[in-house]
Structure 1
Amino acid sequence: MLLRNVCVTSAIALASAMPVHAEMVFNRISTFATPGNMAAGEDTARETSAEIISASDDGMTLVYTDSPLGVIGLVDITDPRMPKRLGNIDVGGEPTTAHFIGAKIFVGVDTSESFIAPSGKLVTVDLATRKVEAECDIGGQPDSVARSADGSFLAIAIENQRDEDVNDGAIPQMPAGYVVKMAVKDGVVDCAGQQRIDVTGLAAVGGDDPEPEFIDINEQGEIALTMQENNHIVVIGADGSIASHFSAGSVDLVGIDTKRDGKLDFSGSKEAVAREPDGIKWIDADHFAIANEGDWQGGSRSFSIFNKNGTLVYGSGPSLEHAIVATGHYPEHRSRSKGVELESVEAGVFDGTPLLFVGSERASVVAVYDVTNPAAPVLRQILPSGVSPEGLVAIPQRNLFATANEVDLREDGLAPAHVMVYEFAEGVAAYPMITSAGSDTLIGWGALSGLAADPEVAAKLYAVSDSVYTAQPRIFTIDAAQTPARITAEMTVTRGGILAQKLDLEGIAADGNGGFWLASEGRSDRLIPHAIYHVDAQGEIIEEIGLPSELLDFETRFGFEGITVDGDWLWMPIQREWRDDPKGMVKLVGYNTVEKTWGAVHYPLDAPAEGAWVGLSEITKHGDWFYIVERDNQIAGNAAIKKLYRVAASAMVPADLGSVLPVVLKELVRDMLPDLAVLNGYAVDKIEGFAVDAAGTGFVVTDNDGVDDSSGETLFWSVGVVAQ
């Protein structure tokens, strides 16, 4: 038996131990990939998307817009844990928003030929026949569509969006946008009686060119509208007249990262940043929330709550961004512009509590707030989502919530677009599985690429992050005894007292004297050397060990991935074959720290699927065994090889470099694909860290790529006591 008392820290395992009267929380229960809605015979490799999402009146069916395909997609969530495809419906243009009213679906469709000649229609789809049964010309390019609570009318934001390549995207750019209001009776829209509401002359910014962005209707029939580029908000009364309007204003931001520089530095600030809101949602009869995404001038990384009379009652400032930072989801590559870029908001009353959901497009998370007091929202959770949650829908009558995640990255070998479903139930939050929340200072982190254990203290671990943060190599201290695991400290790696540069840290091991051995993966095309670094307890490099020519003469861009200590020997796996390796064989490289000599053995890789590759991600010595993480580069439904193997220490006898290397035998310890499924999302590709602590417990961590073309999810779990 290879692992004793195996246990995975999962939602299921945690739920089984919860108290009788546990807290109500959201946890993801299923994921639906949008390519699955294509019909038999279609080219499923085509780009798809899930953008704006809504639910049927009974909450059993979801509809999302898929603009790349020009369709709306339907998903049956009668059993929310097992979503079923209901297929796509062509709507004759680019759908922007779709809503159910009874057995009909009403879809705003953009048919514009150009920015200067915008056009659009409202399409009525019969759910029973899955056919378009009516079309209504609405005179311009629709963005958001909203329905009244009683289903008696629809409101449509006609944006007539600007051309960003003209005049640097500045407005005005005609024609002007407006709002359409039309009655609905017995599933039929009163197209002829549609009301076109003029919103020109209201905003101080581009007042003659309003660009209505997002729209929502309260139970009194009042319409709240954002005009993002105009940085303005309009409230339209139930009679269709302008009830109030006001600037969305600006905000000063302190404690933010303002530079895209490979570092997480939250000491910056910006003044008078225009909010430029996108999403808007009523949270009660008098208040609505806005997501301040920003556009051509603004973006305050925040959300706000306004009274409909124009009074600002709450502004989040950087507080939500800081909470996102603590979960490891901060997108450093967006620091120069709009950071986490909050885009969408949704609201619903769950278990008697009014909740607000705030979606971050760039951090790929959704924050859940208790807004019992709109002036003092309380952050309850941060939910993981797919890449770029664009649409949110609350289904409180079924205690469900769903997101539409718009980005399809399959062209880059990554994940497709997804719809994700969450349940509100008694339990504990399954995510985050690791966080820096609760530290004395804000610790930003991500891209964890190597894991090591403290030799003496159980559940005390160390991690490094990789080249996403090349300008800021760091060692993190983790308390794995807590749930979620806590990053409690960070230490920068220095050389000569200043921040070390050109490191791509992929492995860490304790040296037994308070310091660490670090493995850095080289990239000759980026002038990053393959190397081993020895650092002291303060992170100062005290020794640098370059690779000998016998290795470097055959290097590729895939270098060391992990490091471990075995007496006088350091062992490092090379991720993939170098030019002198037989196909399917990689080197485990040894370095003797006393004799200063090198050697290696060959390790046989599993065979990859067509178009994929397989490599090594980590090595850890424990007792009589070396534990090795082997994985393919595949994600989501294509993921196949995510495994923990072991090799007998007695077989790790290094041969001279350049000689015929002995081939070690490997033994499967654990298939980790099921571990990657515990959050009910899609399987991530990079398991990069494995360590065995002082008590013999094994821990695993994944690399989230710094949230760049990634959902940003980091999984951290225990595999129980590991055999010696």
Structure 2
Amino acid sequence: VDPEGSVSIIDLRHGVANLTQADVRTASFAKFNGRSIDPLIRIFGPNATVSQDLEPEYIAVSDDSRIAWVTLQENNALAIIDIANANVMSLRALGLKDHSQPGNGLDASDKDDAINIANWPVYGMYMPDAIAAFTIRGQQFLITANEGDARDYDGYAEEERVKDLELDPTAFPNADALQENEAIGRLTVTTAQGDTDGDGDFDALWAFGGRSFSIWTRQGKLVFDSGDQLEQITATVLPDDFNSTNDENDSFDNRSDNKGPEPEGVVVGVVNGRTYAFIGLERIGGIMVYDVTTPSNPQFVEYINTRDFSGDAEAGTAGDLGPEGLTFVSASDSPTGQPLLIVGYEVSGSVAIFSIEN
């Protein structure tokens, strides 16, 4: 049985020790059952209602604490919640990223022994994990880490490799070449979408995650997407370890067929009057730093990776592996007087504290 997704709002005014069930209100998605919703919101679980199918993941809250934005990762959507009334006001489809367009390339093969970031006839579902809110000149924006996630459990699995699908000959006249391992044959895509005319073959290919971060308006309209920058940067900085997985060194190209670097966490902070985003890459590791003071045109600042690719992950000598949660501490709240970034690494079981000094 798939339980209904929901968001709880807990009143802490009387202190944690005095909490009762009366302090908990639940924003339910049940009102969307039976309603017509955007077809790009993925509702596809076997025999599931809309409220059962929606899967809340991360939450960001507006400056005035009136609105919460909740990522619905597997559904590739965003929920907008009225906090005071514990009411889900709307669901917003996040849409698709066209990997055939310049600047939106991806490395789709883990079997070519090479870095090959290229354009392919594939759509990426953003499917964000973490989300954060920030304000620029009085206007609120959202930023998401577009990790991607598939459904795979007893009785249902949506993932399949492109080489194992029947591709529509009109949509993919070069299907044989595309389905080679060195092309996109190894790429994992969903079987829940893509057969647009219902004839049993695939007219479009939808891959998991955007391999990027995105900036959105508070209404969920796309302002900026980093395209293939995260893969391009890691390819330049760590060419021998490109698209490595997070629990094994000597794993070059291991994740190219499945979500790449997997941007997982994101936080935003202000340093010396500039607004910066810090994006954690779950697989290859490390933190991407971008100046997002101009939300429509973020600028790459640096890539910090405290992983030791010469070490042994199982022996605990490979440094920090698998960044998961990130917290920014402003200079005014910092015990050192300097802004701090605190990162928890789920694979290595470590915590790193970075001092931001300039």
**TM-score using structure 2 length:** 0.65
Correspondence for 1:295: 149
- Per-residue CA deviation, residues 481-513 of structure 1 (Å, 9 max, x unaligned), is xxxxxxxxxxxxxxxxxxxxxxxxxxxxxxxxx
Distance 1:290 1:264 in 2: 26
Q: Which amino acid aligns with 1:289?
A: I
- Per-residue CA deviation, residues 332-363 of structure 1 (Å, 9 max, x unaligned), is 10011111111111111122211111111012
Corresponding residue to 1:198 among 28, 51, 60: 28
Matched, 1:187 2:99: no
Corresponding residue to 2:229 among 290, 315, 319: 319
Distance 1:317 1:268 in 2: 11
Q: Secondary structure at the match of 1:184?
A: coil
- Per-residue CA deviation, residues 575-630 of structure 1 (Å, 9 max, x unaligned), is xxxxxxxxxxxxxxxxxxxxxxxxxxxxxxxxxxxxxxxxxxxxxxxxxxxxxxxx
Correspondence for 1:250: 96
Assess if the C-alpha contact under 8 Å between 1:245 and 1:310 holds in 2.
Answer: no
| Alignment CA distance shift 1:312-1:377 (3 Å) | same
Correspondence for 1:418: 350
| Alignment CA distance shift 1:371-1:243 (3 Å) | farther
Assess if the C-alpha contact under 8 Å between 1:252 and 1:271 holds in 2.
Answer: yes
Corresponding residue to 1:223 among 55, 68, 85: 68
Corresponding residue to 1:387 among 299, 307, 321: 321
Assess if the C-alpha contact under 8 Å between 1:248 and 1:277 holds in 2.
Answer: no
TM-aligned CA deviation for residue 312 of structure 1: 0.8
Correspondence for 1:278: 129
Correspondence for 1:56: none
Assess if the C-alpha contact under 8 Å between 1:244 and 1:309 holds in 2.
Answer: no
Q: Which amino acid aligns with 2:77?
A: H
Q: Larger C-alpha radius of gyration, 1 or 2?
A: 1
Assess if the C-alpha contact under 8 Å between 2:148 and 2:209 holds in 1.
Answer: yes
Correspondence for 1:344: 265
Assess if the C-alpha contact under 8 Å between 2:9 and 2:83 holds in 1.
Answer: no
Distance 2:106 2:75 in 1: 25
Correspondence for 1:307: 217
Q: Which runs of 5+ in 1 are unaligned?
A: 1-115, 117-173, 409-416, 427-724
Correspondence for 1:378: 299
Assess if the C-alpha contact under 8 Å between 2:115 and 2:235 holds in 1.
Answer: no
Distance 1:186 1:380 in 2: 43
Distance 1:193 1:387 in 2: 38
Q: Secondary structure at the match of 1:336?
A: coil
Correspondence for 2:118: 267
Q: Which amino acid aligns with 1:181?
A: I
Correspondence for 2:153: none
TM-aligned CA deviation for residue 301 of structure 1: 0.4
Distance 1:378 1:245 in 2: 30
Aligned residues between the structures: 246
Corresponding residue to 1:330 among 225, 233, 242: 242
Distance 1:270 1:287 in 2: 30
Distance 2:107 2:231 in 1: 10
Distance 2:57 2:299 in 1: 27
- Per-residue CA deviation, residues 238-260 of structure 1 (Å, 9 max, x unaligned), is 32323443111110124321111
Assess if the C-alpha contact under 8 Å between 2:28 and 2:87 holds in 1.
Answer: no
Matched, 1:353 2:274: yes
Distance 1:265 1:318 in 2: 12
TM-aligned CA deviation for residue 190 of structure 1: 5.0
- Per-residue CA deviation, residues 310-343 of structure 1 (Å, 9 max, x unaligned), is 2111111111221121110521100111111111
Distance 1:355 1:346 in 2: 8
Correspondence for 2:83: 238
Q: Which amino acid aligns with 2:96?
A: S
Correspondence for 1:400: 340
Q: Which runs of 5+ in 2 are unaligned?
A: 44-49, 151-189, 191-207, 244-252, 307-319
Correspondence for 2:180: none
Correspondence for 1:119: none
Distance 2:78 2:261 in 1: 22
TM-aligned CA deviation for residue 418 of structure 1: 1.1
Q: Secondary structure at the match of 2:127?
A: coil
Q: Secondary structure at the match of 1:321?
A: helix
Question: Percent same amino acid among aligned pairs?
Answer: 29
| Alignment CA distance shift 1:419-1:220 (3 Å) | same
Assess if the C-alpha contact under 8 Å between 2:105 and 2:227 holds in 1.
Answer: no
Assess if the C-alpha contact under 8 Å between 2:280 and 2:326 holds in 1.
Answer: yes
TM-aligned CA deviation for residue 406 of structure 1: 0.7
